[in-house]
């Protein structure tokens, strides 16, 4: 007789059914009759996790045992991993048997999947990119550890109250998170504050001693990241801060009791909450503490792994390739030097050689104000020893600068790791660049502008370091999982290999672009997705959308440079056309917005209010008769993205040229069959080159034109003269048409546009309107539009994060990959 299958790995329908019931009883303590949706979720999650563990344990063993393969360590303050259950079932290939198993128990898998609270451990693009990269690393079988922070409160939950954003705490850990394993064995002490002094070591050499003011413990929590097919599993290791010792009961008197509790509270504050970006960091001691905690714990962990392989310290860079995801972990350069020199007694030159062969740095922004710099006094207070190390790195670096360029005496000031204006700052991008062997931007244009403007002097000094790796997104989550209708339509024609060989396979759709049968199936899939979003809008927003309308979508963080207000001005202009001429030929549109504003970003919050006020007027005006609808989807996150991207016809990527580093939403929309209307910014440039200019709606000034306009002295009001539609829209906003008669309401926003308009909204308005009209005319021809949609998907193969990761492996990490 055949051996009975292992109840924890059996993936048959019957096996899954038994395992779910078993977990329901033994993990949640509920009989089937009394189980709530959350209990079913827990039972299913444990059942899936069991089936990942074998690959996981093997993956960890591989990292810990095979010193010949360089392991990638991706250091990121954010990992926006999104809901896990659906993605993990997809990777293991057990979605359908699980669906059937649950159906036989009277349960609906989709409802259970939808129940999972989402870990919002990131702000937006940067954190989600890290999660897509982890997915691709596992799928490509590259050994990797993602190191980050386990925030107790992730990105705030956004509610809309009377049109305005309200921030609520994100209690994602209210119920235990079934995908993490707390690792009691992996704990490291991290020191903060205090003073340094010189001390003579037993061997007579002088060493710096750091006497910290505080010590906290970093505790590892591991989340498995399983690759497509389920064979390879990597690890996401997130750190939580804990008090070194919770209580010392033997010695306490009342005073010590309270101070020890106080100390515990301070320690645990460090990983309490994620900082929203586009939030000024000056004065944010705790944020530097967060960054240092996860960096120090991660490096100690890597040194521990390296040591356990029995390899000498000088070869650390052959065990790990460390990628710095922006400058948030850049203090790692100084920390690795400290660990090698102060703790392990290595000489400075050897340590510097190891360090600069270990790190590589990715920059993610072109906005000068977004480059991290720490006020020197703050840095000195939190990390006194690291400031000394930064000074020493800088002294040696500037010596080499002056030696190489005696003709440019100002160069040292511009390249320095210290900004000498008062107050003085540590420039984290400079530290990251000097300490790394490679620096990359995240799209071709961005990498060029980095070299030309943002990091121009550094790039001229280290030309060989600077390179580009264009971003990508995982086609598993962002097509196979979120868009089952379109995925089935694609797989019917070209099979399923596109899921893990996207670039190679998806291009095969090209030949079906004009096939009437295929077009009909494609349109049916899109309609299904639009109905799904229509249902969501109706239930949570009470806004009635028409699935036949052109779904015109802008979802992303709210920021002036992304120009949601340009989109709103266009909506108002369309509204005015309809009111003036109700009988006009008009392609019905649903204009959908979503995104969070940083809590302290006043103008971004005004933009949200304006969208909601315009929606209120437009959606209730009988003259419009439903042909124009506006909706703001609250709390845009990974989960709602998975419903929104698949339903879009038109993707709005309208940032001012030269401001958006890459964008990744543009790619998510594109592979779900939305056509882009956009500027020549970020990765839009490469997307347009791939899909063909005839399949992309282009408008707006180019980067060079923007710079020319700004150099010549931009005057926004000049753009009102030839454009009565624009003047009218601004006038209506100012006079209270969209603020229930309150004329003062949007004054800050309107004044900004009329007198400053840093992001050239008014300059691009006319070009945007024309382009929108072209898009509407094309949409009115379904065969032409569907052809564009199919060709967009077919030709966006290179925007898979698998391609990005292959490039990192080959050009930066020197790690073998298929
Ligand atoms: C930070 C700040 C700080 C203060 C002032 C304004 C501001 C604006 C943005 C940021 C965030 C910078 C880092 C970031 O999230 N970059 C995003 O990274 C994505 C992944 O590479 C990329 O697709 C986006 O274009 C880029 O904005």
pLDDT in tens, 436-445: 999 999 999 9
Q: Per the structure, how many domains does the chain have? A: 2
On whether both 142 and 225 belong to a single domain, the answer is yes
Identified catalytic residue from 49, 639, 668, 787: 668
Nearest-atom number in ligand 1 for the CA of 123 is: 15
How confident is the model at residue 123, as a pLDDT?
97
Residues 6+ apart with CB under 8 A from 568: 607, 610, 611, 614
On whether both 370 and 313 belong to a single domain, the answer is yes
Ligand 1 geometric centre to CA of 326 (Å) = 9
Q: What is the mean pLDDT of the chain?
A: 95
Q: What is the mean pLDDT of residues 632-658?
A: 98
The candidate with the shortest Cα–Cα distance to 653, out of 79, 125, 81, 158, is: 125
Identified catalytic residue from 562, 596, 639, 734: 562
On whether both 698 and 627 belong to a single domain, the answer is yes
Nearest-atom number in ligand 1 for the CA of 362 is: 21
Going by pLDDT thresholds of 50, 70 and 90, the confidence category of residue 252 is low
Residue 2 resides in a domain:
no
Residue 268: CB atoms within 10 Å: 15
**What HEC string does 548-570 produce?**
CCEEEEEECCCCHHHCHHHHHHH
Annotation says 538 is catalytic: no
Ligand 1 geometric centre to CA of 32 (Å) = 47
Annotation says 364 is catalytic: yes
In this prediction the ipTM stands at 0.96
Proportion of the chain above pLDDT 90, given as a percent: 90
Residue 261 lies in domain: 66-83+118-471+806-813
CATH code of residue 508:
3.40.50.2000
Maximum separation of any 2 CA atoms in the chain, in Å: 92
Residue 508 resides in a domain:
yes
Ligand 1 geometric centre to CA of 662 (Å) = 9
> CB of 125 closer than 6 A to ligand 1?
yes
The candidate with the shortest Cα–Cα distance to 506, out of 524, 519, 493, 521, is: 493
Rounded to whole angstroms, how far apart are CA atoms 226 and 92? 8
In terms of DSSP bridges, do strands 589-594 and 438-441 run parallel, antiparallel, or are they unpaired?
unpaired
> CB of 367 closer than 6 A to ligand 1?
yes
How confident is the model at residue 277, as a pLDDT?
77
Residue 124: CB atoms within 10 Å: 22
Assess contact for 590 and 546: CB atoms under 8 A. yes
Nearest-atom number in ligand 1 for the CA of 369 is: 5
Angstrom CA distances, 178 to 47, 48, 83, 470, 491, stand at 10, 10, 11, 34, 32
pLDDT at 62 over 80: no
Query: Which helix (H) or strand (E) segment is 655 a member of?
Result: none
On whether both 463 and 502 belong to a single domain, the answer is no
Which residue is it, tokens 């049968």? 517
Q: What is the mean pLDDT of residues 560-573?
A: 98
pLDDT at 7 over 80: yes
Identified catalytic residue from 355, 664, 676, 679: 664
Rg (CA), the chain: 27
Residue with CA at minimum distance from ligand 1 atom 11: 277
Residue 212 resides in a domain:
yes
On whether both 463 and 534 belong to a single domain, the answer is no
The candidate with the shortest Cα–Cα distance to 626, out of 553, 567, 662, 575, is: 575
Annotation says 304 is catalytic: no
CA angle 394, 399, 402 (to 5 degrees): 120
In terms of DSSP bridges, do strands 589-594 and 550-555 run parallel, antiparallel, or are they unpaired?
parallel
Annotation says 556 is catalytic: yes
Residue with CA at minimum distance from ligand 1 atom 23: 663
pLDDT at 206 over 90: no
On whether both 238 and 293 belong to a single domain, the answer is yes
> CB of 363 closer than 6 A to ligand 1?
no
Beta bridge partners of 650: 552, 675
Proportion of the chain above pLDDT 70, given as a percent: 98
Going by pLDDT thresholds of 50, 70 and 90, the confidence category of residue 8 is confident
Assess contact for 84 and 116: CB atoms under 8 A. yes
pLDDT at 427 over 80: yes
Nearest-atom number in ligand 1 for the CA of 442 is: 21
pLDDT at 246 over 60: no
Residue with CA at minimum distance from ligand 1 atom 8: 278
Report which DSSP code applies to 656: P
Residue with CA at minimum distance from ligand 1 atom 6: 278
The candidate with the shortest Cα–Cα distance to 104, out of 217, 14, 170, is: 14
Is this prediction's pTM over 0.90? yes
Residue 760: CB atoms within 10 Å: 23
> CB of 118 closer than 6 A to ligand 1?
no
Rounded to whole angstroms, how far apart are CA atoms 334 and 203? 25
Beta bridge partners of 473: 800
Sheet with 425-427, edge to edge strand ranges: 373-375, 425-427, 418-419
On whether both 488 and 388 belong to a single domain, the answer is no
Query: Which helix (H) or strand (E) segment is 255 a member of?
Result: helix 254-269
On whether both 616 and 563 belong to a single domain, the answer is yes
- Residue pLDDT, tens place only, 19-42: 999 999 999 999 999 999 999 999
How confident is the model at residue 788, as a pLDDT?
98
pLDDT at 312 over 90: yes
Rounded to whole angstroms, how far apart are CA atoms 323 and 315? 17
How confident is the model at residue 261, as a pLDDT?
79
On whether both 480 and 458 belong to a single domain, the answer is no
Residue 413 Ramachandran class (φ > 0 left, ψ -120 to 50 alpha, else beta) = alpha
Query: Which helix (H) or strand (E) segment is 196 a member of?
Result: strand 195-200
The per-residue DSSP string of 670-719 comes to: HHTTPEEEE-S-TTHHHHHHHH-GGGSEE-S--HHHHHHHHHH---TTHH
How confident is the model at residue 87, as a pLDDT?
98
Q: Is the dihedral of CA 597, 602, 607, 611 positive or negative?
A: positive
The length of the chain is 818
Q: What is the mean pLDDT of residues 218-240?
A: 97
> CB of 278 closer than 6 A to ligand 1?
yes
Beta bridge partners of 146: 74, 236
Annotation says 195 is catalytic: no
- Residue pLDDT, tens place only, 470-494: 999 999 999 999 999 999 999 999 9
| Residue 42, helix vs strand vs coil | helix
Residues 6+ apart with CB under 8 A from 781: none
Nearest-atom number in ligand 1 for the CA of 124 is: 15
Q: What is the mean pLDDT of residues 578-606?
A: 97
How confident is the model at residue 279, as a pLDDT?
66
How confident is the model at residue 638, as a pLDDT?
98
How confident is the model at residue 263, as a pLDDT?
80
CA angle 482, 487, 492 (to 5 degrees): 165
Residue 781 resides in a domain:
yes
How confident is the model at residue 702, as a pLDDT?
98
pLDDT at 249 over 90: no
- Peptide bond before residue 467 is cis, with ω within 30 degrees of 0: no
Residue 224 resides in a domain:
yes
- Residue pLDDT, tens place only, 401-416: 999 999 999 999 999 9
Nearest-atom number in ligand 1 for the CA of 125 is: 19
Residue 339 resides in a domain:
yes
Annotation says 562 is catalytic: yes
Q: Name which of 65-69, 126-130, 158-162, 266-270 the model is least confident about.
A: 65-69
| Residue 598, helix vs strand vs coil | coil
> CB of 144 closer than 6 A to ligand 1?
no
Q: How many CA atoms lie within 13 A of 157 on its CB side?
A: 12
| Residue 165, helix vs strand vs coil | strand
Burial category of 704 from C-beta neighbours within 10 Å (exposed 0-12, middle 13-18, buried 19 and up): exposed
On whether both 322 and 360 belong to a single domain, the answer is yes
Return the higher-pLDDT residue of 61 and 218.
218
Ligand 1 geometric centre to CA of 433 (Å) = 18
Beta bridge partners of 214: 192
On whether both 580 and 677 belong to a single domain, the answer is yes
pLDDT at 17 over 60: yes
On whether both 443 and 372 belong to a single domain, the answer is yes
Q: Name which of 205-219, 631-645, 794-808 the model is least confident about.
A: 205-219
Q: What is the mean pLDDT of residues 692-702?
A: 98
Of the chain, the end-to-end C-alpha distance in Å amounts to 41
The candidate with the shortest Cα–Cα distance to 758, out of 769, 767, 749, is: 749
Token digits of residue 392: 């020493």
Q: What letters, b where the CB count within 10 A reaches 16 and e where it falls short, cover 557-578?
A: bbbbbbbbbbbbbbbbbbbeeb
Residue 621: CB atoms within 10 Å: 14
Residue 279 phi, psi (nearest 5): -130, 125
Token digits of residue 196: 């340094």
Residue 388 resides in a domain:
yes
Residue 642 resides in a domain:
yes
Ligand 1 geometric centre to CA of 277 (Å) = 8
> CB of 598 closer than 6 A to ligand 1?
no
């Amino acid at each position: 007789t055949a051996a009975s299958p292992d109840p924890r790995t059996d993936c048959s329908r019957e096996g899954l059914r038994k395992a779910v019931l078993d977990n329901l009883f033994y993990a949640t303590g509920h009989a089937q009759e009394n189980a709530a949706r959350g209990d079913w979720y827990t039972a299913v999650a444990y059942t899936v996790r069991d089936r990942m563990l074998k690959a996981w344990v093997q993956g960890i063993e591989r990292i810990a045992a095979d010193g010949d393969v360089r392991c990638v360590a991706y250091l990121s303050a954010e990992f926006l991993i999104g809901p896990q259950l659906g993605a993990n079932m997809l990777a293991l290939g057990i979605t359908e048997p699980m669906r059937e198993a649950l159906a036989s128990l009277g349960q609906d898998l989709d409802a259970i999947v939808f129940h999972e609270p989402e870990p919002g451990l990131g702000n937006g693009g940067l954190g989600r990119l890290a999660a897509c990269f982890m997915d691709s690393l596992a799928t490509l079988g590259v050994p990797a550890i993602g190191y980050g922070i386990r925030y107790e409160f992730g990105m705030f939950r956004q509610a809309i109250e009377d049109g305005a954003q309200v921030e609520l705490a994100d209690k994602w850990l209210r119920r235990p998170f079934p995908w993490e394993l707390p690792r009691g064995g992996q704990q490291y002490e991290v020191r903060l504050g205090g003073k340094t002094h010189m001390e003579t070591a037993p061997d007579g050499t002088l060493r710096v001693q750091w006497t910290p003011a505080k010590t906290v413990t970093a505790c590892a929590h591991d989340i498995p990241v399983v690759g497509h097919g389920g064979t390879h599993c990597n690890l996401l290791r997130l750190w939580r801060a804990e008090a070194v010792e919770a209580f010392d009961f033997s010695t306490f008197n009342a005073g010590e009791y309270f101070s020890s509790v106080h100390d515990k509270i301070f320690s645990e504050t460090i990983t309490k909450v994620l900082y929203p970006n586009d939030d000024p960091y000056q004065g944010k001691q705790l944020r530097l503490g967060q960054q240092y905690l996860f960096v120090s714990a991660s490096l100690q962990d890597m040194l521990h792994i390296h040591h356990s392989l029995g390899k000498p310290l000088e070869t650390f860079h052959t065990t790990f390739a460390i990628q710095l995801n922006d400058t948030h972990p850049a203090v790692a350069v100084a920390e690795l030097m400290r660990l090698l020199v102060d703790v392990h007694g290595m000489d400075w030159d050897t340590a510097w050689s190891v360090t600069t062969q270990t790190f590589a740095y990715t920059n993610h922004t072109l906005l000068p104000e977004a480059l991290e710099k720490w006020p020197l006094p703050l840095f000195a207070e939190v990390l006194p020893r690291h400031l000394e190390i930064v000074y020493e790195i800088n002294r040696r670096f500037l010596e080499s600068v002056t030696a190489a360029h005696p003709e440019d005496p100002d160069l040292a000031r511009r390249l320095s790791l210290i900004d000498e204006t008062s107050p003085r700052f540590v420039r984290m991008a400079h530290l990251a660049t000097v300490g790394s062997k490679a620096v990359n931007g995240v799209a071709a244009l961005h990498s060029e502008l980095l070299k030309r403007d943002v990091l121009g002097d550094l790039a001229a000094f280290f030309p060989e370091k600077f390179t580009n790796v264009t971003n990508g997104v995982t086609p598993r989550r962002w097509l196979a999982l979120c868009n089952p209708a379109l995925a089935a339509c694609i797989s019917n024609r070209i099979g399923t290999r596109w899921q893990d060989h996207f670039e190679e396979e998806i291009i095969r759709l090209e030949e079906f672009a004009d096939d009437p049968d295929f077009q009909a199936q494609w349109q049916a899939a899109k309609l299904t997705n639009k109905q799904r979003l229509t249902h969501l809008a109706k239930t949570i927003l009470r806004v009635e959308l028409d699935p036949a309308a052109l779904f015109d979508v802008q979802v992303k963080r709210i920021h002036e440079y992304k120009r949601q207000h340009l989109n709103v001005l266009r909506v108002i202009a369309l509204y005015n056309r309809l009111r003036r001429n109700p009988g006009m030929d008009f392609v019905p549109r649903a204009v959908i917005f979503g995104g969070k504003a940083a809590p302290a970003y006043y103008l971004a919050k005004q933009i949200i209010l304006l969208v909601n006020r315009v929606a209120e007027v437009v959606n209730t005006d009988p003259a419009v008769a439903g042909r124009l609808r506006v909706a703001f989807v609250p709390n845009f996150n990974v989960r709602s993205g998975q419903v929104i991207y698949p339903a879009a016809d038109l993707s709005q990527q309208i940032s001012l040229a030269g401001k958006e580093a890459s964008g990744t939403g543009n790619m998510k929309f594109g592979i779900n069959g939305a056509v882009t209307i956009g500027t020549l910014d970020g990765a839009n440039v490469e997307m347009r080159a791939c899909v063909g200019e005839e399949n992309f709606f282009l408008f707006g000034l180019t980067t060079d034109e923007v710079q020319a306009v700004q150099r010549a002295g931009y005057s926004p009001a000049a753009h009102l003269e030839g454009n009565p539609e624009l003047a009218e829209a601004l006038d209506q906003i100012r006079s209270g048409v969209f603020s229930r008669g309150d004329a003062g309401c949007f004054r800050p926003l309107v004044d900004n546009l009329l007198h400053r308009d840093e992001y050239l909204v008014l300059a691009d308005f006319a070009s945007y309107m024309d382009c929108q009209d072209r898009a509407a005319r094309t949409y009115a021809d379904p065969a032409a539009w569907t052809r564009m949609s199919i060709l967009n998907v077919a030709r966006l193969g290179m925007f898979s994060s698998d391609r990005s990761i292959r490039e990192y492996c080959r050009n930066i990490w020197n790690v073998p990959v298929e």
